[in-house]
Amino acid sequence: MKSFAFATIDQLKAALDKKEISSEELLVFYLKRFEKYDTVLGSALEIFDIDSILENSSTTGSLAQIPGIIKDNICQKGRIASCASKYLEHVKAPYDATAILRLKSAGALLIGRANCDEFAMGCSGENSAYKDTANPWDLSRVSGGSSSGSIAAVAAGLVPWSLGSETGGSVRLPAAFCGITGLKPTYGLISRKGLVAYASSLDQIGIATRTIKDNAQVLSVIAGYDENDFSCAQIPPKDYAQNIDSFDIRGKTIGIIETMFNAEGLDSEIRLALEGVIAQYEKLGVKTKKIQVPSLEYGAAVYFIISRAEAASNLARFDGVRYGHRISSESLFEMYCKTRHDGFGAEVRKRIIVGNYVLSAGHAGRFYQKARQVQAMIQEDLARALFDVDVLLSPVHSIPAFKFGAFDENILQMDLQDYFTGFCNLAGVPALAVPCGFTNEKLPIGFQLIGKHFTEELLYQMAYAYERETTWHTQTPPDFE
Amino acid sequence: MIKVSKQELLEIARTSRIELKEQEIAGMLKELEDMLSYAERISNVVIDHGCAPHKNVNLFRDDIVQVTAYQALLDQAPDVEQNLFVVPKIIETQE
């Protein structure tokens, strides 16, 4: 049988239409790939049984019978939603997230739960309470996080698309580490109903695929207003893929964020690859303009404070009373403390403690309040930077995917992986990570395009113009043929 | 470099309702201090008064009465008796 491992959504739809393969055969094909490869990759926490995947699935719709995998912090009714935490090990989602409802009505087959950092907190995927997810390009290295399993599964050709989530770079960073495309949409474009909260003012569901068009097709299904999420914007649904081909990129302007290119520790091979991207765009008739946005230097610091503060508040709901884990104790206070100690992993506990510190009476002014002010400044500076260009271009990562355990002794350096991504979440703007090369060690490199609010269509068009001229997205990890 | 005392860490952990075991304290202190010391750089930023953080606005919708299949929710509870959540005793008697 022809291999569909790295086929695009359009190719799969054509094969189904022409009856080259039945939808059940296609599903079995991917499930077998999980069986064969996921023992070494570790991308899935659970693959559902075939009957339950197909049960009530729609055969019509724009993603009809196309399999995908969902990050374990997005609710799929009747399935476990553990957020890769022991705390929620046995907790089943009582309802579907709005994005899941929309995927189901578009006919998509949801085949399982993807591994991730516990409660989406991490940059490497090493914080899952269950297992590590490896990088398909080098199994001794991390996939990146927090949407580790969602990205690794797509990169290894185990599924064509997946949902992850973004708070500070959790889709774009692993997408760059694994050589695929990852979207962090504008805050408010996709409903957060059914996405377990980490830092609510930053959280968005994100999309991972191997091509730009695939990404746009999934976004077209899940984007749009939802009355169940008041942070969701009144944006009418639209087809984000239909105008990708016809787009004329000549005369557009890209702002190169010099502040990010000058950042300390940016790997020389990554810098070189990004210079190649800029040259390619110029060849296509795009004007480029160097822009300084000095306040972005504070992006990581502001992101650390705001995300941890919101995490401390959001995770207060896990009290051992109504659902999930409980360690019975003599006193209520002890029950809370022991339950939260044993239920949460070390990174989650630390983020809660950092969050409560920066919110506490003596320190809130110096940390949380000040961070909110600097956030407002970053928002304004980015808006100004985007004023007379169409999109901005920046690195996504400073170093290629690293070895497991590389930052065990220096967690702060690990957290600083968010330096290139967190500011987009702080400003609520959309950003798209796109593959643009490999290091000498054959590790993927990515760049990102950043747009004004709700300009996802333009991001796709600009990225597609690059993708069409290059072959990075067609390269596949050799161990996963 | 920001220094946090052991006493302050224990107080924050208590507020967070998270047990800290003796052998975890040194590591947690270091990671907390590292992060705060990095984050403290925002104190260098001079804010011009044009930049006010967005105010949080509360939005409400009307309550809608819905019939929920409560069994699915009860199934998630750590402890259940008949159709009720069993919650820990909240009033403690002083011996």
From the CA of B5, how many Å to the nearest CA of chain A? 12
Tell if the CB–CB gap between A367 and B39 is shorter than 8 Å. Answer: yes
Three-class DSSP category at A447:
strand
Residue type, A391: V
pTM of the shown model = 0.96
Q: Determine the residue of chain B that is closest to A309 in CA distance.
A: B16
Nearest to A138, CA basis, from A398, A402, A396: A402
From the CA of A234, how many Å to the nearest CA of chain B? 15
Q: Where are the beta strands (DSSP E) in A258-352?
A: 287-291
B13 contacts on A by Cβ (under 8 Å): 353
Q: Is B95 exposed, middle or buried (0-12, 13-18, 19+ CB in 10 A)?
A: exposed
Contact B32, A356 (CB under 8 A): no
Q: Determine the residue of chain B that is closest to A79 in CA distance.
A: B72
A312 contacts on B by Cβ (under 8 Å): 16
From the CA of B66, how many Å to the nearest CA of chain A? 14
Active site residues of A: 71, 146, 170
From the CA of A433, how many Å to the nearest CA of chain B? 26
Enumerate residues 396 to 455 of chain A having a beta carbon within 8 A of any beta carbon in chain B: 411-412, 415-416
pLDDT for the residue B95:
58
> pLDDT below 50 — which residues of chain A?
none
User: Which of B16, B51, B88 lies closest to A377 in CB terms?
Assistant: B51
A325 contacts on B by Cβ (under 8 Å): 78
Distance CA B39, CA B33 (A): 10
Give the CA count within 13 Å in the CB-facing half-sphere of A157: 22
pLDDT for the residue B57:
80
Name the one residue in this structure whose structure tokens are 């202190």.
B29
Tell if the CB–CB gap between B53 and A360 is shorter than 8 Å. Answer: no
Distance CA A136, CA A145 (A): 14
Tell if the CB–CB gap between A350 and B32 is shorter than 8 Å. Answer: yes
Mutate to test the interface with A, among B10, B11, B19, B67 (most CBs of A within 10 A): B19
Beta partners for residue A254, in sequence order? A288, A391
Three-class DSSP category at A250:
coil
Residue A474, Cβ neighbours under 10 Å: how many? 11
The ranges assigned to domains in chain B are 6-52
pLDDT over 90 at B53, yes or no: no
Q: Is A233 exposed, middle or buried (0-12, 13-18, 19+ CB in 10 A)?
A: middle
Distance CA A93, CA B71 (A): 12
- Residue A178 has φ and ψ, to the nearest 5°, of -110, 0
From the CA of B50, how many Å to the nearest CA of chain A? 8
* Phi-psi region at A230: left, alpha or beta (left = phi > 0; alpha = psi -120 to 50): alpha
DSSP structural state of residue A175: H
CA distances from A427 to A313, A379, A386, B58 (A): 21, 5, 12, 20
Contact A460, A433 (CB under 8 A): no
What is the DSSP annotation of A393-420?
A: EEES-SSPPPBTTTTTT-HHHHHGGGGG
Contact A114, A74 (CB under 8 A): no
A383 inside 8 A of chain B by CB: no
B67 inside 8 A of chain A by CB: no
pLDDT for the residue A346:
97
Distance CA A383, CA A427 (A): 9
Distance CA A222, CA A18 (A): 27
- For chain B, what is the mean pLDDT? 88
Enumerate residues 279 to 308 of chain A having a beta carbon within 8 A of any beta carbon in chain B: 295, 298, 300-302, 304-305, 308
A335 inside 8 A of chain B by CB: yes
CA distances from B64 to A177, A231, A324 (A): 45, 19, 27
Question: What is the per-residue pLDDT across B31-49, written as a single tens digit (0 to 9) for each?
Answer: 999 999 999 999 989 887 6
Distance CA A392, CA A308 (A): 27
State the Rg of chain A over Cα. 21
Distance of CA B47 to the CA centre of its chain: 29
Nearest to A344, CA basis, from A89, A71, A75: A89
What is the DSSP annotation of chain B?
A: -----HHHHHHHHHHTT----HHHHHHHHHHHHHHHHHHGGGGGPPPPTT-PPPPP-------------HHHHHTT-SSEETTEE-----PPPP-
Enumerate residues 212 to 241 of chain A having a beta carbon within 8 A of any beta carbon in chain B: 227, 230
Distance CA A196, CA A452 (A): 26
Distance CA A343, CA A458 (A): 43
Mutate to test the interface with A, among B9, B15, B20, B51 (most CBs of A within 10 A): B51
Contact A256, A281 (CB under 8 A): no
User: Which of A298, A325, A356 lies closest to B42 in CB terms?
Assistant: A298
pLDDT for the residue B47:
82
A337 contacts on B by Cβ (under 8 Å): 14, 17-19
Distance CA A415, CA A94 (A): 33
pLDDT for the residue A440:
98
From the CA of A360, how many Å to the nearest CA of chain B? 8
Distance CA A370, CA A382 (A): 18
Mutate to test the interface with A, among B4, B8, B16 (most CBs of A within 10 A): B16
